Chain A
Amino acid sequence: MEISADRDGNTFYLNMGPQHPSTHGVLRVILKMNGEYIQEAECVLGYIHRMHEKIGESMFFSQFYAYMSRMDYLSAMAYNHGYTGLIEKMAGIEPPLRAEYIRVITVELNRISSHLVWLGAYLLDLGAFTPIMYAFDDREMILDLLESITGSRLTYSYFRFGGVCKDIDEDFIRGTRAFIKKMRSRLKMYDTLVTKNVIFIGRVKDIGIISQDMARRYGATGPVLRGSGIEYDIRKNEPYSVYPEFDFDIPTGSTGDARDRYLVRVAEIEQSLRIIEQALDRLPDGPYRTEIPPFIELEPGDCYFPVESARGEFGIYLVSNGEKRPYRMKLRTPSFSNLSLFNELTKGYMIADAVSILGSLDLVIPEIDR
């Protein structure tokens, strides 16, 4: 952090980031402070801008798989799903049912692992060191499972147009069932260790209250929106893939403070476990991939396809002019909208609370800058 004072001596500027542990990446926030209290918080973006949209426009459709997972490295599967879903919708490719089930299973596993990283890192921001060890221990199980089918541990490029690149086997199914059982018992442990902890409650209760109106105004999505009590989840509101076949709830908060966002995410872990369980029970036999040519062409037209990533609505808008490459690609990432709340949210709070608020928004910086 770097400090510079204003002329009048009362207000001063505090530079948080771009290398600061609580900004989780290269986000820079210029805080205008009055003593310990924040008057203005200006986020400076662009430190990790890589022009993903432009890269997408210069490539064959199938070459862009790998770039998807580099945006949100914590829930890469959902991004894979968004891209393959979009192209399949535009090209009229129907993936086999088994592939859709495998996609749902892996996306939900990835969502749990993303929430676990967030849980550990958030509590680390708040000064609790132990939970991250437990969270990473649980996440390790997911990573091992996903590695056994995808071959990578973080930036998966597992989905293909018309299916997935490798079938799941009995070991994976057995391992996932064991994980569901373990995770349920661990959720009880997190409840005792974190949710009921008085210090934690003191740090998050009534901090960073997002009203429903404010969440709507900024276009917040995901757990940030649901924490304010708005039941909006792409998986339910605009169903894609085979999500309508599963029975799950959308957890929502009531006041919209940091604690509600925490509770929503923890409840989402349980809901994801439910979805995975149902998908494993009903997993159909059959092919996991339809063979399509590697370099496809799309009809001229445009399409928007949103999916629910761990952080909210991720959507791709693609315009095709009938060539092998897209004419225009626009990526809508959830953290960008969620971060835009930050200025209004932190006004009048102390700097320690700003860290708590920033953590509760669950930001992934490469996805904001993309």
Chain B
Amino acid sequence: MRFINEVISGSYSLIAGLGITIKAFFSPIATVQYPREVIDITPSYRGHIEFVHDLVTGKPKCISCGTCAMACPSNCITVEGEPLEIKREPFHATGWPPAISIPSEKKKAPGYVERLERPLILFELDFAKCSLCGLCIEVCPENAIQFSKVYNLAGYCRQDSRIDLKNRFEEIS
């Protein structure tokens, strides 16, 4: 009697399982054929960081202050700038050049701003160490960096993961 019960319950659960498989067989396909079909990535996707394109000057907004390098938990950002210099530039109503202006009353000429500037020499990201935490982006005083949408990041050697953001920016623009 026990044996018959087992056979019946066993066959029932087998058939119930097969029923689900058959149902899935006729349901829509859940996968995509990757290299031929690509699904859209979301707008909040985090690729490696890149410079924000400044709409006014067409240059990176970075003032090479180094805050991002200090905030990065993995020490993957290297920033180098030229020595500090005081620049006198015509003032754009749009807000460029940005905030760090020095208050020196007597030299002030109308329509001009003076600011401390450190032209950027090198901005290198070691992406192999980056954990995409987004801290560098949050601390940047100029909002000069953002996440890119690059996802094909395979390389042949460790050097491939070192990205020079300044060169990359110039190549793109």
- The verdict on B46 contacting chain A, using a C-beta distance below 8 Å, is yes
Residue of B nearest to A189 (CB): B20
Residues of B within 8 A of A152 (CB): 46, 132
The 5 closest A-B pairs by CB, nearest first: A66-B133, A63-B73, A151-B46, A66-B131, A151-B44
In the complex, the answer to whether B17 meets A192 with C-beta atoms within 8 Å is: yes
Residues of B within 8 A of A151 (CB): 42, 44-46, 132, 134, 147
Known: A140-B30, A151-B147, A166-B44. A198 touches B132 (CB 8 A): no
Which A16-70 residues have a C-beta within 8 angstroms of B?
A: 59-60, 62-67, 70
- The verdict on B56 contacting chain A, using a C-beta distance below 8 Å, is no
* Contact partner, B138, options A197, A198, A294, Cβ 8 Å: A294
* Contact partner, B135, options A65, A148, A189, A197, Cβ 8 Å: A65
In the complex, the answer to whether B46 meets A66 with C-beta atoms within 8 Å is: no
In the complex, the answer to whether B135 meets A147 with C-beta atoms within 8 Å is: no
- The verdict on A206 contacting chain B, using a C-beta distance below 8 Å, is no
User: Interface residues of A, CB < 8 Å — how many?
Assistant: 33
Which B118-157 residues have a C-beta within 8 angstroms of A?
A: 131-135, 138-139, 147
- The verdict on B24 contacting chain A, using a C-beta distance below 8 Å, is yes
- Closest Cβ of chain A to B127, distance in Å, is 14
- The verdict on A240 contacting chain B, using a C-beta distance below 8 Å, is no
In the complex, the answer to whether A198 meets B135 with C-beta atoms within 8 Å is: no
8 pairs, CB–CB < 8 Å, chain A vs chain B = A63-B73, A150-B44, A151-B42, A151-B44, A189-B20, A193-B20, A198-B9, A294-B139
A84-117 CB contact bits vs B (8 Å, 1 = yes)?
0000000000000000000000000000000000
Residues of B within 8 A of A198 (CB): 6, 9-10, 13
A contacts, CB < 8 Å to B: 59-60, 62-67, 70, 130, 134, 137, 140, 144, 147-152, 155, 157, 165-166, 189, 192-193, 196-199, 294-295
- Closest Cβ of chain A to B26, distance in Å, is 15
Residues of A within 8 A of B42 (CB): 144, 147-148, 151
B42-70 CB contact bits vs A (8 Å, 1 = yes)?
10111000000000000000000000000
In the complex, the answer to whether B24 meets A134 with C-beta atoms within 8 Å is: yes
- Closest Cβ of chain A to B13, distance in Å, is 5
Q: How far is the CA of A158 from the CA of B132 in the complex (A)?
A: 11
In the complex, the answer to whether B73 meets A165 with C-beta atoms within 8 Å is: no
- The verdict on B16 contacting chain A, using a C-beta distance below 8 Å, is yes
Residues of B within 8 A of A150 (CB): 44
- Closest Cβ of chain A to B93, distance in Å, is 28
- The verdict on B165 contacting chain A, using a C-beta distance below 8 Å, is no
Q: How far is the CA of A196 from the CA of B131 in the complex (A)?
A: 43
Given contacts A67-B73, A157-B133, A198-B10, 11 further A-B contacts (CB under 8 A): A60-B71, A63-B72, A65-B73, A66-B73, A67-B131, A140-B30, A165-B138, A166-B44, A189-B20, A192-B20, A198-B6
- The verdict on B101 contacting chain A, using a C-beta distance below 8 Å, is no
- Closest Cβ of chain B to A140, distance in Å, is 7
Residues of A within 8 A of B46 (CB): 151-152
In the complex, the answer to whether B71 meets A197 with C-beta atoms within 8 Å is: no
Residues of A within 8 A of B72 (CB): 63
Q: How far is the CA of A166 from the CA of B21 in the complex (A)?
A: 39
- Closest Cβ of chain B to A134, distance in Å, is 7
User: Interface residues of B, CB < 8 Å — how many?
Assistant: 26
In the complex, the answer to whether A157 meets B44 with C-beta atoms within 8 Å is: no
* Residue from B10, B13, B24, B138 with most neighbouring chain A CB atoms (10 Å): B13
Q: How far is the CA of A295 from the CA of B73 in the complex (A)?
A: 12
Residues of B within 8 A of A192 (CB): 16-17, 19-20
Known: A62-B135, A65-B133. A149 touches B44 (CB 8 A): yes
- Closest Cβ of chain A to B42, distance in Å, is 5
Known: A67-B73, A148-B42, A294-B71. A193 touches B134 (CB 8 A): no
In the complex, the answer to whether A196 meets B71 with C-beta atoms within 8 Å is: no
Q: How far is the CA of A192 from the CA of B46 in the complex (A)?
A: 39
Known: A64-B73, A147-B42, A151-B46. A157 touches B9 (CB 8 A): no
Q: How far is the CA of A82 from the CA of B71 in the complex (A)?
A: 21
Residues of B within 8 A of A147 (CB): 42, 44-45
Residues of A within 8 A of B73 (CB): 59, 63-67
Residues of A within 8 A of B16 (CB): 192-193, 196
* Contact partner, B44, options A60, A65, A148, A193, Cβ 8 Å: A148
Residue of B nearest to A59 (CB): B73
Known: A152-B132, A294-B135. A197 touches B20 (CB 8 A): no
In the complex, the answer to whether B30 meets A193 with C-beta atoms within 8 Å is: no
Q: How far is the CA of A131 from the CA of B131 in the complex (A)?
A: 32
Q: How far is the CA of A197 from the CA of B15 in the complex (A)?
A: 10
Residues of B within 8 A of A64 (CB): 73
In the complex, the answer to whether A193 meets B17 with C-beta atoms within 8 Å is: yes
Q: How far is the CA of A294 from the CA of B46 in the complex (A)?
A: 20
* Residue from B10, B133, B138, B139 with most neighbouring chain A CB atoms (10 Å): B133
Residues of B within 8 A of A193 (CB): 16-17, 20
